[in-house]
């Protein structure tokens, strides 16, 4: 009998040991999180025995169905789950699970693709295409032969053919960038002498010629032009001038005599003196008688 009781006691201990072997792994896995991974756009199958040790199998609780934290989807097939990641997405998604008896719970974290949420690539800002600057025409504009009153591009300017003129000469002048159709007045200073007026053509240019006034004294003068600029504003331009007196023409000397004429005059004078002397001698002789 004692031997029988010892055998039964050993059998009871073995049964308790086997029960504990089944219960303890389950209790140790009552609340556990898991990290899984899958390529981008590839579904993942999760079996319940993969979530614990000793291949403990259980059924998932039905409410595990539904969306995940990042918009993926989980479908419950009782002893396993199907996880579908968001379309064309990289990052870490998560969802919770539980067994149907509520004894096993946890969170599953799924690394999808590279595991990092991609940063949107900024749309490059197009670089504006520079507008080409038109090249100047090959045809050269004739430059005035004399000095110009300087002016910035688009500003009125004046030039003369020659800054040194004589009284019997003319002043040839060109004015640019005036208001088309406007009239300009030309005068010579120091003592203001009006030379005349002229009208700008369609291009805002005046080309005129004025006679040097007879009243203009020799020396330095200033040519003034008063008119309207291309913008319609009143402008005054000036140009230094020099008026010179023309040289007097050489008059031939009509009183000049030739050497032959000089000899004839000399001989004539000698003959006159001889005649006067002879007359004097003859007069003296007659008075003595």
Please give the pLDDT value at position 202: 94
Question: What pLDDT does 114 receive?
Answer: 84
How confident is the model at residue 171, as a pLDDT?
A: 92
| pLDDT (0 to 100) of residue 23 | 46
CA dihedral 56, 62, 63, 67 (to 10 degrees): 90
Q: What is the pLDDT along the chain (289 residues), one digit of tens a residue?
A: 444 444 666 666 566 655 544 544 443 345 578 888 999 999 988 887 777 644 455 666 655 667 888 989 988 887 788 899 999 989 999 988 887 776 777 888 999 988 655 556 667 777 777 777 766 655 544 544 455 555 555 899 999 999 999 888 899 999 999 999 999 999 998 778 898 999 999 999 999 999 988 888 888 999 999 999 999 999 999 999 898 877 666 655 555 555 666 667 777 788 787 778 777 766 665 555 5
For residue 130, the model assigns a pLDDT of 74
pTM for this prediction: 0.36
200 vs 192: CA distance, rounded Å: 23
């Amino acid at each position: 009998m004692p031997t029988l009781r010892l055998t039964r006691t050993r059998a009871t201990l073995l049964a308790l040991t086997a029960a504990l072997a089944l219960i303890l792994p389950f209790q140790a896995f009552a609340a556990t999180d898991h990290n899984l991974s899958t390529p981008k756009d590839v579904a993942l199958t999760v079996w319940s025995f993969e979530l614990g040790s000793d291949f403990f199998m259980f059924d998932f609780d039905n409410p595990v169905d539904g969306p995940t934290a990042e918009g993926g989807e989980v479908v419950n097939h009782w002893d396993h789950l199907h996880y579908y990641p968001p379309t064309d997405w990289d990052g870490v998604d998560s969802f919770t699970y539980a067994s149907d008896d509520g004894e096993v719970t946890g969170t599953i974290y799924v690394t999808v693709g590279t595991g990092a949420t991609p940063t949107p690539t900024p749309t490059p800002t197009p670089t504006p295409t520079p507008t080409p600057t038109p090249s100047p025409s090959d045809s050269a504009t004739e430059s005035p032969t004399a000095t110009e009153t300087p002016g910035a591009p688009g500003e009125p300017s004046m030039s003369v053919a020659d800054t040194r003129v004589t009284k019997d000469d003319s002043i040839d002048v060109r004015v640019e960038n005036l208001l088309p159709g406007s009239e300009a007045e030309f005068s010579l200073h120091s003592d203001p002498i009006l030379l005349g007026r002229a009208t700008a053509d369609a291009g805002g240019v005046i080309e005129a010629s004025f006679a040097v006034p007879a009243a203009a004294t020799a020396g330095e003068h200033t040519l003034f032009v008063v008119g309207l600029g291309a913008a319609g504003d009143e402008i005054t331009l000036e140009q230094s001038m020099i008026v010179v007196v023309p040289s007097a023409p050489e008059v031939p000397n009509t009183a000049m005599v030739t050497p032959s004429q000089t000899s004839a005059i000399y001989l004539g004078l000698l003959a006159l003196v001889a005649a006067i002397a002879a007359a004097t001698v003859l007069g003296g002789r007659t008075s003595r008688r």
